[in-house]
Amino acid sequence: MSQAEMEDLVPDEVIPHKTLPPLRYRDLPEAPVWTALVGPSVILAGLALGSGEFVFWPYITYRSGFVFFWACLLGVITQYFINLEIERWTLATGESAITGFCRLSRWWAPVMLLLNILPWIWPGWATGAGKLLSWLLFGAQTRAVVTAVPLLLTPVPALPVDWGDHAQIVETTAGGRELRWTGPLSADQQTELRKLSDEPDWNTAVDQLALKMRKTGGVELQTKYVNWIAIGTLLLIGIVLTSSPVVYNTVERLQSWLVLLIVVCACVLGVLFIKPYAITAMLKGSISLGELPGPESGLEQMALLGALAFAGAGGTMNLGQSNFIKDKGYGMGKYIGRITSPITGNEEAIADVGYHFRHTPENMRRWRDWWRAANMEHFFSFFLTCVACLVLLALLAYSLFYDASGQIRPEAANFGEDMNFIWGEANLIEAGFSNPLLGKLFRTMFFVMGMALLLTTELGVLDATVRISTDILKVNFLRDNDHWSQSRLYFVLLWTEIAIGTAILLAGEYYPQFRQPMFLLKTSAAMNGGVMFIYTVILLYLNNKILSRSLSMTPLRFLAMVWGCGFFGYFTLLALKFEVFPWLTGVGR
């Protein structure tokens, strides 16, 4: 290596390289106006909208009103600061944040690879989009299901004859008794059940039955061809990405149009259905800091952790923001190159490791311009979009499901679990119009919005997961292998993930839980909440200790990151304590 080449290497006292090649010096490019940078945060917002904004937070609103909405707002604000720290490393080096982690220790490569793959392997968004399309095309059939609770009371009360098969007290094979109820349980029926006996054991059984019914609704919605539709959407997205000359440009264009469609539909439905009392309830919930949904809501700690992870993008998808801005050409990412299609695109040379700039007055001026522009783009494209859609969709759910006194409407009490509440929202929207044609039109609009929401997430998840895995494998394990270019590796991993997702969906034909989008979404989301705690801690160290003082965090942002560690750490511990450990040990389940 010549003397000039040696002088171009970034020394370890500036940024240590450890097991990766050192960065090289180049001048920081000039920053454009922030509007020219719009794109990466729109993609990230598209990822967020189909999970937290459309599924988790309206679901929590349906179950418990706005009692937990304070955490939703804190989650989005926290993610805003975390995302910008992810961008900071890429602006300064052109590398992904995970490559920065690997400069701290080589062990972060396999760890982050697993944390990127495992939570996102579940095709919950594909199943969700398939269910919505199935509802729109074929409708759904409601089937009553049996809900049972143990009964310790002796002797047992006589049940009214006119209840028929609704209520039964049966002997179990283990020699005990069960109180069984078929179909929905109304408040009046619960009161009548209570009147049958004054014994505490009977009241306990009725309370347990009501709690279970609050969660399941006593009904099941049967849908057609959901898994096959979901497989079709996976294949369609794979074909679209594979045929894209420059993958990032296609993803940005598609996500921008889908997000625009979503925002327009949400605004129209909001104007028509959101009630003033819902806004009042949301404002009260926003300031009820620390309050959690009670057991009567039927919400598990895993669902709450998942909702916090998806009040925004969630999990390693936030880390994908560094890959998006790199392909967009932010900061030093301008020198890296982009992933192109092996079929329709011209391969671009992609640098495996990044660049840094000497801290001259001119480069530092450009750095401040870049940082200001990146903050503006992320605030308007990601933060405001997520908050607006979260607020609109949660208000819509509350207005449809609750009355002015804060009580759930009788017609909304039995939509059960999984994504059935979305079916309920659509039916209540249709019922809100005296003109049946208008009702069907806006019901269809709601389903189209929902499918667009879930497809933005499905598209973004497939692209970002594969993009992150490609980066980890190429930089850390295949850096000197010319056969495996980043583009080739990207498309092999893309179709591998589609094949695994298809296998999981086919398994749903034999294992019912794989047919439930909410099961898949909660599994993914809860894992991602823990992932966010881990990488927030690493980011705090990376950007505060490795980057020089002139590029690192301000005291306010440092405190925001410390808060992020505590925020996601606390809810991760809750999920471990109340869900994971009992499930592993069998205690308390």
DSSP secondary structure, 189-214, as one string: HHHHHHHT---HHHHHHHHHHHHHHH
Q: At a CB cut-off of 8 Å and minimum separation 6, what does 486 contact? A: 337, 339, 350, 470, 471, 474
Domain boundaries along the sequence of the chain: 3-128+228-405+426-585, 143-221
Please list, in sequence order, all residues whose beta carbon lies within 8 angstroms of the beta carbon of residue 41, skipping any fewer than 6 positions away. Answer: 83, 321, 377, 378, 380, 381, 382
pLDDT of residue 248: 82
- Residue 277: predicted pLDDT: 95
Distances from the Cα of 282 to the Cαs of 60, 61, 64, 396, in angstroms?
13, 10, 12, 11
Instruction: Spell 486-512 as b/e; 16+ CB within 10 A means b.
Output: bbebbbebbeebbeebbebbeebeeee
Q: For the purposes of burial, counting CB atoms within 10 Å of the CB of 192, is it exposed (0-12), middle (13-18) or buried (19 or more)? A: middle
Q: What is the reported pTM?
A: 0.84
Q: Please, are residues 338 and 7 in contact by the beta-carbon 8 Å criterion?
A: no
Return the C-alpha torsion angle 191, 196, 198, 201, nearest 10: -90
Q: What pLDDT tens digit does each residue of the chain (589 aa) get? A: 566 666 688 888 888 887 888 999 999 999 999 999 999 999 888 887 766 677 778 888 888 899 888 888 888 888 899 999 999 999 999 999 999 999 999 899 999 998 888 777 777 777 878 888 888 888 877 776 777 777 776 677 888 777 777 788 888 776 678 888 787 777 777 888 888 888 888 888 888 777 777 666 666 777 888 888 889 999 999 998 888 888 888 888 888 888 888 889 889 999 999 999 999 999 998 888 878 787 777 776 666 666 665 565 667 888 989 999 998 999 999 988 777 766 665 666 566 678 999 999 999 999 999 999 999 999 999 999 989 988 999 999 999 999 999 888 877 766 766 678 888 899 899 988 989 999 999 999 988 888 888 887 888 888 889 999 999 998 888 888 878 888 889 899 999 999 998 988 888 777 665 555 555 555 555 667 778 888 999 999 999 989 888 898 999 999 999 998 888 887 777 767 765 566 556 555 4
> How far is it, in rounded angstroms, from Cα 206 to Cα 213?
10
CATH architecture of 3-128+228-405+426-585: Up-down Bundle (1.20)
Q: Which residues pair with 402 in a beta bridge?
A: 408
Contacts of residue 135, defined as CB under 8 A and 6 or more positions apart, other chains included, come to 223, 423, 426, 447
pLDDT at position 306 is: 61
Given this model, what pLDDT does residue 308 score?
64
CB 393 within 8 A of CB 58: yes
* pLDDT score recorded for residue 526: 60
Q: Give residue 441's pLDDT.
A: 93
Residue 340, classed as helix, strand or coil, is strand
